């Protein structure tokens, strides 16, 4: 019951601490519903006008039964509801099922217990029985030649508003505007007096009393807990016990309250707090929802977003920005990881200042397999310092250059969903995506010391990165960056985000060799005006499995390109030859060099750093040549 206790506490805290926010949790006994029409009445309940309502959620009073209504006779909401509930004349216009009597009875009981002028006006209007008639007259509902409501629209291209928003005209949702002289607030769904009135009346509809297992107090018990937690129309419930035939309790209890009894207000507050948090700061992956929050309502960084989205987006910590701020332009060769780490620490320090010594950070995962049942797939309570320590370690250790597109470049850790796509492809099954996020969430929140990173994901991402011929170039760049980030992460961030010219490990050196060969051939092709893949790119997958034998093939294929560059780019060719010699000299022994054992993900780091270093040198040379030409021109 810890999760519902934390949500209940969150509701209590945010209603005190966050007064005045534009969006607040729903009041007790209310749901959010999309309205299609609003009917405007005067203080006596006389019809004035009707208007269309575009996509806009409306606060709707609801009973325990109506908030989760299903079945052949779904119970009514007490005020705003569908036409088949509020229209006395619905059957007269050919409606199939009318629930007007139950709606009218509930509205009357509410007004009797807590009289209100707006309730009286709506009650008078629905008693007159002209709802459908008025909407037809205004041209919002449509009838056939016999005066019966159309069940469908004949032309699918020019559907009216009501057929676009509801399956049947009788299912269009109505809300009320009541214009009373001297009262500024005309919208019933925003009238604080009406909201408070319903909150006082709805407990009178509840029969059961008992001990609330969350608060420990004797109170009115909730028997039908809310649905619509993740989004409007979500039928999955977190708490449900509607099976009384012996299958639910397995003979251990005689009724559901013995297994779990929760107060009505407690359940309402907890579920409304959860809805508010999901709308405000959640991560969605299909039906899967991940939410992290601090009990007082303060925002905390999401553990399932990449570094750019979760921490650094507001400050523009992009790769380009880091280069420009380094003071050395495109030719900067330092470790970008140090700059990134400083800015990451600064951002985390801001959160530490905001959260203080909070002991109430909660991370919660929700998912549903069936439409009616939802499960908590992950739940963890942490202190603020523990949460931020683990988050900082993740974004620091698993950081690398990321290039998702021409516009999206940054240094940081990828998101779990992006890791799933890198490991299994963009068209991966939704179940695999959710399963991967569930596997990685404990690594981030609990720390990789306690929950080691799955090695199969490191291998899968490495394998896709070397199979570059099966992807578009932008996708391969993205997979390459993520693969490097994962290997760096499982190595506890032990690699610099810059070319390490002294590192002499076999895999790193072979990665450097591949990058040099690729650059040499690319420049040779560019000089000749050819646009095709290099041998290094085409043989990358084979190179990763049999590096020595494949390298001999690649090196031999470079001979004609070297000849071409000898006359066109002799200086560049000389530099590349020298660089190849330097790399070869770093191999510790001939046995290490000639080994054909498969390469680990480390070779991608050497390849990526060497490739990037060569690209930056080319930019610097182009800028120098451009400056020199301008000076000569002067």
Place of tokens 């997979």: 479
pLDDT score recorded for residue 325: 47
**Among candidate residues 419, 357, 342, the one with its CA nearest the CA of residue 388:** 357
Three-class SS of residue 42?
A: strand
Query: How far does Cα 607 stand from its chain's mean position?
Result: 32
The yes-or-no verdict on residue 633 having pLDDT over 60 is no
Q: How many angstroms separate the CA atoms of 586 and 394, rounded?
A: 32
**Do the beta carbons of residue 93 and residue 148 sit within 8 Å?**
yes
Give the model confidence (pLDDT) of 304-324 as tens digits.
999 999 888 655 445 545 454
Angle made by CA atoms 131, 134, 140, in degrees to the nearest 5: 100
Q: DSSP secondary-structure letter at 19?
A: T
Q: For the chain, what is the total number of helices (H) and then of strands (E)?
A: 26, 14
The predicted model gives 370-396 an average pLDDT of 92
Residue 133 pLDDT: 96
φ/ψ (deg, to 5) at 400: -160, 170
Note the pTM of the prediction, 2 decimals. 0.87
What tens digit of pLDDT does each residue of 218-247 get? 999 988 888 888 888 888 888 876 555 555
Q: What is the mean pLDDT of residues 80-105?
A: 95
- Give me the pLDDT at residue 250, please: 58
Question: Tell me, what's the pLDDT at 624?
Answer: 45
Cβ(307)–Cβ(344) below 8 Å: yes
CA–CA gap between residue 305 and residue 319 (Å, rounded): 18
**Residue 420: its pLDDT value, please?**
96
DSSP 250: T
Rounded Cα gap, residues 148 and 150, in angstroms: 6
**Rounded Cα–Cα distance for residues 477 and 422 (Å):** 10
* 632: pLDDT strictly greater than 50: no
pLDDT value for 470? 79
Mean pLDDT of the residues in the chain: 88
Of the listed ranges 69-83, 271-285, 311-325, the one predicted with least confidence = 311-325
Q: Give tens-digit pLDDT for 472-497.
A: 999 999 999 999 999 999 998 889 99
With b meaning 16 or more CB within 10 Å and e meaning fewer, what string describes 234-266? bebbbbbbeeeeeeeeeeeeeebbeeebbbbbb
Distance CA 399, CA 344 (A): 11
Residue ranges covered by each domain of the chain: 1-22+206-285, 35-205, 298-364+374-490, 506-633
Cα separation, 41 vs 29, in Å, equals 25
Q: 3-state class of 620 per DSSP? A: helix
Q: What is the DSSP string of 236-263?
A: -BSS-----SSSSSTTS-SSHHHH---B
Q: Count Cα neighbours of 354 within 13 Å in the Cβ-side half-sphere.
A: 15
Is the CB of residue 63 less than 8 Å from the CB of residue 105? no
């Amino acid at each position: 019951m810890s999760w519902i206790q934390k949500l209940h506490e969150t509701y209590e805290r945010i209603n005190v601490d966050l007064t005045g926010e534009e969006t607040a949790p729903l009041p007790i006994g209310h749901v959010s519903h999309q309205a299609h029409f609003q009917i405007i009445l005067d203080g006596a309940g006389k019809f004035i006008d009707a208007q269309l309502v575009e996509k806009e959620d409306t606060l709707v009073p609801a009973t325990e039964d109506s908030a989760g209504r299903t079945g052949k006779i779904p119970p009514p909401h007490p005020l705003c509801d569908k036409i088949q509930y509020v229209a006395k004349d619905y059957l007269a216009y050919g409606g199939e099922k009318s629930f007007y009597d139950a709606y009218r009875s509930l509205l009357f009981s509410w007004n009797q217990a807590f009289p209100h002028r707006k309730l009286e006006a709506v009650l008078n209007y629905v008693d007159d029985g002209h709802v459908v008639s008025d909407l037809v007259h205004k041209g919002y509902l449509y009838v056939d030649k016999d005066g019966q409501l159309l069940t469908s629209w004949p032309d699918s291209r020019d559907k009216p508003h009501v057929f676009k928003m509801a399956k049947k005209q009788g299912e269009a949702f109505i809300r009320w505007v009541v214009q009373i002289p001297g009262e500024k607030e005309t919208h019933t769904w925003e009238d604080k007096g009406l909201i408070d009135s319903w909150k006082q009346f709805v407990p009178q509809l509840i029969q059961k009393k008992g001990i609330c297992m969350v608060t420990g107090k004797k109170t009115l018990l909730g028997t039908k807990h809310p649905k619509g937690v993740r989004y409007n129309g979500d039928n999955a419930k977190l708490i449900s016990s509607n099976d009384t035939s012996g299958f639910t309790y397995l003979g251990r209890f005689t009724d559901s309250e013995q297994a779990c009894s929760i107060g009505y207000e407690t359940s309402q507050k907890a579920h409304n707090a959860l809805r508010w948090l999901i709308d405000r700061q959640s991560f969605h992956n299909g039906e899967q929802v991940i939410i992290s929050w601090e009990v007082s309502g303060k925002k905390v960084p999401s553990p399932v977003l990449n570094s750019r989205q979760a921490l650094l987006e507001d400050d523009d910590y992009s790769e380009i920005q880091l280069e420009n701020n380094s003071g050395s332009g495109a030719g900067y060769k330092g470790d970008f990881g140090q700059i990134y780490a400083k800015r990451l620490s600064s951002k985390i320090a801001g959160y530490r200042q905001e959260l203080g010594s909070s002991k109430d950070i909660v991370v919660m995962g929700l998912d549903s397999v069936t439409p009616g049942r939802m499960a908590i797939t992950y739940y963890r309570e942490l202190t603020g310092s523990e949460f931020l320590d683990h988050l900082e370690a993740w974004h620091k250790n698993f950081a690398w250059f990321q290039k998702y597109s021409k516009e999206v470049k940054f240094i940081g850790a990828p998101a779990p969903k992006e890791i799933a796509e890198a490991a299994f492809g963009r068209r991966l099954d939704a179940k695999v995506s959710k399963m991967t996020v569930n596997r990685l969430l404990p690594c981030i929140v609990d720390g990789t010391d306690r929950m080691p990173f799955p090695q199969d994901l490191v291998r899968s991402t490495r394998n896709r990165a070397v199979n570059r011929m099966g992807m578009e170039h932008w996708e391969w760049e993205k997979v390459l960056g993520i693969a490097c980030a994962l290997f760096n992460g499982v190595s506890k961030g032990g690699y610099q985000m810059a070319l390490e010219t002294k590192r002499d490990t076999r895999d790193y050196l072979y990665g450097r060799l591949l990058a040099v060969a690729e650059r040499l051939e690319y420049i040779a092709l560019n000089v000749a005006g050819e646009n095709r893949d290099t041998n290094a790119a085409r043989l990358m997958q084979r190179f990763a499995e049999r590096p020595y034998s494949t390298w001999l093939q690649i090196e031999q294929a470079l001979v004609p390109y070297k000849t071409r560059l000898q006359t066109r780019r002799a200086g560049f060719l000389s530099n590349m030859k020298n660089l190849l010699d330097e790399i070869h000299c770093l191999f510790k022994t001939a046995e290490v060099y000639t080994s054909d054992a498969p390469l680990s993900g480390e070779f991608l780091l050497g390849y990526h750093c060497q490739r990037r270093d060569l690209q930056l040198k080319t930019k610097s040379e182009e800028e120098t040549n451009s400056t020199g030409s301008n000076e000569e021109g002067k």
